[in-house]
């Protein structure tokens, strides 16, 4: 499979095992033992996915500065809510627990590659009439007119531990993770954006307490549509 994977882990056996599992599946895989080594690799090689130990997460921001379309899988032995929140804020779409299951690793990597392929697809958006509201599984859209769309989230996310929304002014591409939802079991659900645009407003109440989503009139984001 034509995909480049970067594995960042200082545990020699685990890192080597992950590299071997991915290589056997046909992925081009690079193993870095330290954050500094990972930064050097990211400066010279374009990657599709990085599987990174949470202890190396401080380097992730710099890696994503070099490769903003990189899909991120955070790997941890003892996941905590605070640790997962940091991973989510730094762009992780998935969390993988140690000891790593080869089947889980391959599944998450395949899903990450699929997400990236979708986000890179060229697409032209024609704005529907104001008030039309498609109903995807994870979010609902209401076109307000004048290039503005309001996005609400599925009420089931009200039972999550934390909802991470993008910052106002952030540019979001269609298919790119728009919202990341953290659940009590440490799992993360990335909600892909159905449209491209700039974040005009983010609802602070949703980030403070996900239970706000139980109200039917609660919206999460407003985006100014990208018509190009």
Q: pLDDT value at position 6?
A: 94
Between CA 116 and CA 119 the distance in angstroms is 5
Q: Are residues 24 and 106 in the same domain?
A: yes
- Residue 84 belongs to a domain: yes
Taking only the tens place, the pLDDT of each residue in 37-59 is 999 999 899 999 999 988 888 88
- Residue 152 belongs to a domain: yes
| Cα–Cα–Cα angle for 210, 201, 88, rounded to 5 degrees | 50
- Residue 133 belongs to a domain: no
Per DSSP, 48 falls in state S
Q: Are residues 11 and 112 in the same domain?
A: yes
CB contact at 8 A, 179 and 192 = no
221 bridge partner residues: 151, 202
Give the whole-number percent of the chain exceeding pLDDT 70. 88
Q: Are residues 108 and 41 in the same domain?
A: yes
- Residue 202 belongs to a domain: yes
Q: Are residues 145 and 72 in the same domain?
A: no
35 bridge partner residues: none
Expressed as residue numbers, the domain containing 210 is 139-225
Out of 59, 90, 119, pick the residue that ends a domain. Answer: 119
Band of residue 228 on the pLDDT scale cut at 50, 70, 90: low
Residue-averaged pLDDT of the chain = 81
Band of residue 129 on the pLDDT scale cut at 50, 70, 90: very low
Band of residue 120 on the pLDDT scale cut at 50, 70, 90: low
Which two structure tokens, joined as six digits, stand for 65? 């500065």
- What is the number of domains present in the chain? 2
Q: Provide the CATH number for the domain around residue 214.
A: 2.40.50.100
Q: Are residues 84 and 152 in the same domain?
A: no
Per DSSP, 78 falls in state S
From residue 97, alpha-carbon distances to 22, 48, 143, 188 in Å are 17, 21, 39, 12
Between CA 158 and CA 211 the distance in angstroms is 4
Mean pLDDT of 59-82: 81
Q: Are residues 92 and 153 in the same domain?
A: no
Chain-centre distance for alpha carbon 64: 12
Euclidean distance between the first and the last CA atom of the chain, given in angstroms as a whole number: 32
Least confident stretch, 8-17, 83-92, 133-142, 215-224: 133-142
- Residue 86 belongs to a domain: yes
Mean pLDDT of 137-151: 83
Continuous segment of H or E residues that includes residue 109: helix 102-119
- Residue 125 belongs to a domain: no
Q: Are residues 172 and 86 in the same domain?
A: no
Taking only the tens place, the pLDDT of each residue in 77-113 is 876 777 777 777 777 878 888 888 899 999 989 888 8
Would you say residue 213 has pLDDT above 90?
no
Band of residue 123 on the pLDDT scale cut at 50, 70, 90: very low
């Amino acid at each position: 499979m034509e995909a480049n994977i970067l594995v960042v882990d200082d545990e020699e056996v685990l890192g080597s095992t992950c590299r071997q599992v991915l290589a056997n599946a046909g992925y081009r895989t690079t193993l870095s033992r330290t954050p500094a080594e990972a930064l050097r690799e990211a400066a010279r090689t374009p990657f599709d996915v990085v599987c990174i130990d949470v202890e190396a997460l401080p380097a992730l921001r710099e890696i994503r500065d070099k490769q903003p379309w990189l899909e991120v899988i955070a790997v941890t032995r003892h996941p905590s809510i605070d640790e997962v929140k940091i991973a989510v804020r730094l762009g992780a779409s998935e969390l993988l627990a140690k000891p790593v299951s080869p089947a889980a690793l391959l599944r998450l990597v395949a899903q990450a590659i699929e997400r990236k392929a979708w986000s890179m697809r060229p697409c032209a958006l024609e704005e529907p009439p104001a008030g039309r509201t498609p109903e995807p599984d994870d979010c609902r859209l209401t076109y307000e007119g004048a290039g503005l769309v309001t996005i609400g989230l599925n009420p089931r996310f009200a039972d999550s531990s934390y909802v991470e929304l993008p910052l106002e002014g952030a540019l979001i591409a269609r298919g790119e993770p728009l919202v990341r939802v953290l659940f009590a079991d440490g799992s993360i659900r990335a909600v892909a954006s159905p449209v491209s645009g700039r974040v005009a407003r983010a609802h602070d109440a949703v980030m403070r307490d996900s239970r706000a989503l139980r109200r039917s009139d609660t919206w999460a984001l407003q985006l100014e549509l990208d018509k190009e």
